[in-house]
Structure 1
Amino acid sequence: MSAMSGLLIANDTIIIKAVGTWGYFSNYPKHEGPFWNQHIADVTAGEIVGEIKPQDELGLRGFEIMHLLKNGVFDFAFGLPAYAMQESEIFEGADLSSLVQHIGVQRKVAAAYFPTLERAFSEKYNAKLMMLYPFPSQMIWCKNPVNSIEDLKGKRIRVFLTTLGDFVEGVGAIPVSVAYHDVPDALEKDRVDCVITGTMSAYTAKLYKLTPYGFTLRVGWGLAFGAININKWNLLSESQQTLLQKEISTLTDNMWQETATEDAIALACLSAGPCSLGETGNMVLVEPSEADLIKRDKVAADVILPRWAKRCGPECAANWNRTVGTILHLRAEVPAK
């Protein structure tokens, strides 16, 4: 009888197979992994059991993850909206380069754009968007001194998103697409002069040994998502859905709070310290001046927003203006032909 009851319990258990972001960045080991591998089983008394591995361990690329989520091979995925841009540029809209300098504002932007992304995930990927959360902010790390935006002119700068390329071209520099793993090699072989990556990833990759200079203009947030396959979601009871949403809401809050703290820790560790993580990088960090921010505003208005509006279309731009635009007091207009 005990074996039979064990079988019944096993049959009632819902297993959620998930894929995370990168195992070598802190979001996975600190948050994504523990949430699915342990926490969700604990809070549901084993009704829902998660299994997750990071995408680098699985050897998957972003667009593959979205395809597998859509088809139910994975039930839940964490990832970057850039993974979904093959389907629509609408996915770029919550993290357009350089528009947001403060994490509190970025959270408001994410909340304002959430319903837009929720519709897009449902229509394009048969997935329910559950959360948006940031990686530490993306800044510019260079081999030679950068004291202003003007000093970026002519430099070859590593990018990993279209909107970052728009920023780089807008300031008169040259975007070079390089995978994160290949960044040290690209620097050593002089393929790039500067690198855009997050504050904490710059520290953990020891970029300070190759790029002694940092320009701390925030050019993006590496905003990420968590989404569940709708067929799987529909298998959950109403009480299970409510509980999962509540737990993911708490996870989201924790990740926003930690990213704000991580930014400060990483910048201290990259420069003169004190550093709670290990050695100090002794980078020279330069904050953008008022003149730099004025120049950034001009690049945003003249290059970043019009290019994105052209890629995404008039309806998409109008929706952005009603949501994110009202928070940032900016407008995305499709350029006249």
Structure 2
Amino acid sequence: MPYLLSLLLLLCLPAQAADVSLRVMGSWDMLSQYQDYEAPFWQQELPRLSDGRIQAEVQAFNKAGLKGSEVVRLMKLGMVDVGTAVLSYISADDPVVEGADLAGMADSLPLAHRIADAYLPELDQYYRERHGIHVLALWPYSAQMLMCRKPLAGIQDLKGRRVRVSLRTSSDLIERFGALTLNIPFDETYQRLQRGEADCLITGTYSAYTAGFHKVVHHLYDFSLGWSVMMLGINENVWQSLTPQDQQVLQQGTAGLSERLWQAADSQTRTGIQCMSGQSACPAPPDAPRGQMVVHALSAADRARIARALQESVLPRWAERCGKRCVDNWQRSAGRVLNPP
């Protein structure tokens, strides 16, 4: 019932005094990506860029009572015009999206950015054909890193440990080392860790800091296993109804938003690590909470094991889910970034 009421409120919002009024579904409202970037873009920047021609009403998906996996379907049905979808939340229906952020594929943000840029046209074509959605942009959260309640002797020490993951390809990766993977919603993770129902988790460092995970896990492994990439899309009929001028404003505006979010992912990755481990470099205000997590560097041997797991476990499992055409499209786009011809 709360979901239906919230969605009806979004659908029934009064029209703005503008040529175009967009109904926008944003990402998690408690996180910086929405508070500091998405919401201000739709509420303030886009009206300014369009000289008032485009107005938007934005609501975070969780505030509408949604889990996040419904965003694509709502865009497809025209119930919302624009939506931000976390790729891992929609991968069960569309495994093609996993190709933008395969676990263990990009251990640096610049590499992840180049892969996403190369793969975006493939995702756009797929979503236009299958769902009637134009993909405007891709952007990440902070680096997805492994955090545990007790220390690991190495990556192989994950055997038998219960690990909360959000990316299915993260499961493909760590199950190779004997981990038991758990699919726990982000907003339930703290309590589950506190109750001892999970031993480790893989999540973004900044998200972990703002959610207070440093109070319930004590060891962080400083190596990116992924970036939890998000996709911004718009219903194709809505897109086609825009004038060429407004299409350009929206495309360029969201491209700028995306670039700022890529830059934010870099700084927030560092901030998350610094503040969860109580480093003096933590840029949070003096009265903000700081953790005492122990930060561990991953050994060269473990990095090599992860690289092998990508080739021998992550990629084959994903290829099986996605199919030959999907893999061929990935190889000619994102794959060329990893393995230049």
Secondary structure at 1:93 match in 2: helix
Query: 1: distance between equivalents of 2:17 and 2:143?
Result: 43
Picking from 140, 148, 152, the partner of 2:146 is 140
The more displaced of 262-271 and 76-85 is 76-85
Picking from 259, 267, 271, the partner of 1:265 is 271
Are 2:144 and 2:228, in contact at CA under 8 Å, matched by a contact in 1?
Answer: yes
Q: How far off its partner does 1:48 sit?
A: 0.5
Query: 2: distance between equivalents of 1:323 and 1:204?
Result: 35
Unaligned runs of 5+ in 2: 1-14
The more displaced of 304-313 and 274-283 is 274-283
From the superposition, tell whether residues 279 and 190 of structure 1 become closer, same or farther in structure 2 (CA, over 3 Å): closer
Query: 1: distance between equivalents of 2:20 and 2:250?
Result: 12
Picking from 285, 291, 300, the partner of 2:295 is 285
1:297 paired with 2:307, answer: yes
Q: How far off its partner does 1:12 sit?
A: 5.4
| Higher Rg of the two aligned structures | 1
Picking from 34, 38, 44, the partner of 1:32 is 38
User: After superposition, what is the alpha-carbon deviation per residue over 1:86-141, rounded to whole angstroms, capped at 9, x for unaligned?
Assistant: 43211111101111100000000001111110012112221100000011011111
Are 1:76 and 1:228, in contact at CA under 8 Å, matched by a contact in 2?
Answer: yes
1:17 paired with 2:23, answer: yes
Are 1:146 and 1:286, in contact at CA under 8 Å, matched by a contact in 2?
Answer: no
Amino acid at match of 1:322: R
Picking from 252, 255, 266, the partner of 2:258 is 252
From the superposition, tell whether residues 18 and 152 of structure 1 become closer, same or farther in structure 2 (CA, over 3 Å): same
Amino acid at match of 1:217: F
Q: How far off its partner does 1:198 sit?
A: 0.6
Aligned to 1:241: 247
Aligned to 2:11: none
Q: How far off its partner does 1:80 sit?
A: 1.2
Aligned to 2:6: none
User: After superposition, what is the alpha-carbon deviation per residue over 1:249-286, rounded to whole angstroms, capped at 9, x for unaligned?
Assistant: 11111111111111111111111322222232110011
From the superposition, tell whether residues 176 and 112 of structure 1 become closer, same or farther in structure 2 (CA, over 3 Å): same
Secondary structure at 1:63 match in 2: coil
Are 1:170 and 1:304, in contact at CA under 8 Å, matched by a contact in 2?
Answer: no
Picking from 321, 329, 334, the partner of 1:319 is 329
From the superposition, tell whether residues 262 and 252 of structure 1 become closer, same or farther in structure 2 (CA, over 3 Å): same
Aligned to 2:101: 95
For normalisation by structure 1, the TM-score amounts to: 0.92
Unaligned runs of 5+ in 1: 1-8, 331-337
Equivalences, count: 323
Amino acid at match of 1:113: Y
User: After superposition, what is the alpha-carbon deviation per residue over 1:189-243, rounded to whole angstroms, capped at 9, x for unaligned?
Assistant: 2221001111011111111111011112211101111111111111111111111
Are 2:88 and 2:228, in contact at CA under 8 Å, matched by a contact in 1?
Answer: no
Following superposition of structure 1 onto structure 2, how do residues 14-163 of structure 1 map, counting pairs within 5 Å? 14-163=20-169
Are 1:38 and 1:50, in contact at CA under 8 Å, matched by a contact in 2?
Answer: no
Are 2:124 and 2:134, in contact at CA under 8 Å, matched by a contact in 1?
Answer: yes
Are 1:129 and 1:228, in contact at CA under 8 Å, matched by a contact in 2?
Answer: yes
Amino acid at match of 2:309: V
Are 1:20 and 1:55, in contact at CA under 8 Å, matched by a contact in 2?
Answer: yes
Amino acid at match of 2:283: S
Secondary structure at 2:21 match in 1: strand
Amino acid at match of 2:136: M
| Cα RMSD for the two superposed structures | 1.7
Aligned to 1:328: 338
The more displaced of 318-327 and 246-255 is 318-327
Query: 2: distance between equivalents of 1:246 and 1:88?
Result: 27
Are 1:214 and 1:284, in contact at CA under 8 Å, matched by a contact in 2?
Answer: yes
Query: 2: distance between equivalents of 1:291 and 1:54?
Result: 41
Are 2:16 and 2:55, in contact at CA under 8 Å, matched by a contact in 1?
Answer: no
Amino acid at match of 2:107: Q
For normalisation by structure 2, the TM-score amounts to: 0.91
Query: 2: distance between equivalents of 1:281 and 1:12?
Result: 47
* Identity, % of aligned positions: 31
Query: 1: distance between equivalents of 2:186 and 2:89?
Result: 15
1:222 paired with 2:232, answer: no
Following superposition of structure 1 onto structure 2, how do residues 156-175 of structure 1 map, counting pairs within 5 Å? 156-175=162-181
From the superposition, tell whether residues 189 and 10 of structure 1 become closer, same or farther in structure 2 (CA, over 3 Å): closer
Amino acid at match of 1:53: Q
Are 2:21 and 2:55, in contact at CA under 8 Å, matched by a contact in 1?
Answer: yes
